[in-house]
């Protein structure tokens, strides 16, 4: 735990320095920027989530999420964009860890992974997210996490729900003894892949949850198939025993 705390401090300091000086760094081509975001900055930011994984079972996560949210709001009013950004990340991560407690079985997580890509895709292409991005860009910026581009004032952004499901899937991998390292790697790569696809196809924004959910399923597909089938068999067996015992009562 001490090692994680030290790594969190070092990484957090390095990210803080980058965020505060990114516009004065090198100015590269678009694809070099995408490579930097995909293979350096995005993994570094989500390494913070990896480092706080032991806190997924800590008490008071809902209150922590609320406190980080309030801090992010106050920092936004003060114009402190870098600490605001990371308050969003830690607040939504705490919320994801807390939300996982209401999932009673692994099959629920699989169901979410199968459903949310369609919901997210509809929202981005035809639903409320499209309206917000096109007509109220500042609202999307306020409710997103920024990955600043070196040498520029612009940034790539991920919506807060993307951060929520990242922490949910990663914590689920730990809780049900799945492939946690591979899950983290594929979840992180999925965000870079979504960014690259959006630039390649010249699309203003792509839904990030489809590839995120796919990353979780690819990392653990065989384990999920085996364990969910076992869960369903046990549930059917329990229901059968309950009906049988009910009929046997006088």
* Residue that the structure tokens 């079972």 belong to: 57
In a domain, 86, yes or no: no
Residue 75 domain flag: no
In a domain, 79, yes or no: no
145 confidence band (pLDDT: 50, 70, 90): very high
Domain count for the chain: 1
Q: How many Å separate Cα 5 from the centre of its chain?
A: 21
CA-closest candidate to residue 110, choices 159, 178, 58, 62: 178
Q: What is the pLDDT of residues 201-246, one digit of tens each?
A: 777 677 889 999 999 999 999 999 998 888 878 777 766 666 666 5
pLDDT in tens, 98-130: 999 999 889 999 999 999 988 877 777 666 665
Name the pLDDT band for 249 (thresholds 50, 70, 90): very low
pLDDT at 129: 60
Tell me the chain's radius of gyration from C-alpha atoms. Answer: 20
Amino acid 235: pLDDT: 73
pLDDT over threshold 60, residue 136: no
- The pTM assigned to this predicted structure is 0.89
Question: Does 81 fall in a domain?
Answer: no
What is the distance between the alpha carbons of residues 168 and 146, in angstroms, rounded to a whole number?
20
Query: Could you tell me if residue 231 is inside a domain?
Result: yes
Domain that holds residue 233: 2-58+102-245
């Amino acid at each position: 735990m001490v090692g994680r705390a030290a790594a969190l401090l070092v990484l957090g300091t390095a990210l803080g320095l980058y965020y505060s000086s990114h516009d004065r760094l090198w100015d590269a081509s678009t694809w070099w920027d995408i490579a930097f975001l995909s293979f350096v900055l995005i993994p570094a930011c989500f390494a913070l989530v990896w480092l706080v994984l032991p806190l997924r079972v800590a008490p008071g996560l809902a209150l922590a999420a609320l406190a980080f949210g309030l801090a992010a709001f106050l920092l936004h009013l003060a114009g402190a964009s870098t600490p605001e950004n990371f308050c969003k990340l830690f607040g939504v991560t705490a919320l994801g860890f807390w939300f996982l407690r209401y999932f009673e079985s692994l099959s629920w997580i699989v169901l979410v992974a199968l459903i949310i890509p369609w919901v997210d895709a509809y929202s981005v292409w035809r639903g409320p997210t499209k309206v917000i991005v096109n007509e109220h860009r500042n609202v999307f910026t306020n409710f997103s996490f920024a990955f600043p581009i070196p040498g520029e004032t612009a940034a790539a952004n991920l919506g807060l729900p993307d951060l929520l499901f990242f922490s949910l899937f990663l914590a689920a991998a730990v809780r049900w003894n799945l492939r946690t390292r591979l899950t983290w790697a594929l979840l992180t790569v999925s965000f870079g892949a979504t960014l690259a696809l959006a630039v390649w196809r010249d699309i203003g924004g792509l839904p990030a949850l489809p590839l995120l959910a796919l990353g979780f399923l690819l990392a653990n597909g065989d384990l999920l198939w085996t364990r969910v089938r076992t869960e369903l068999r046990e549930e059917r067996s329990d229901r059968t025993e309950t009906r049988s015992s009910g009929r046997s009562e006088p």
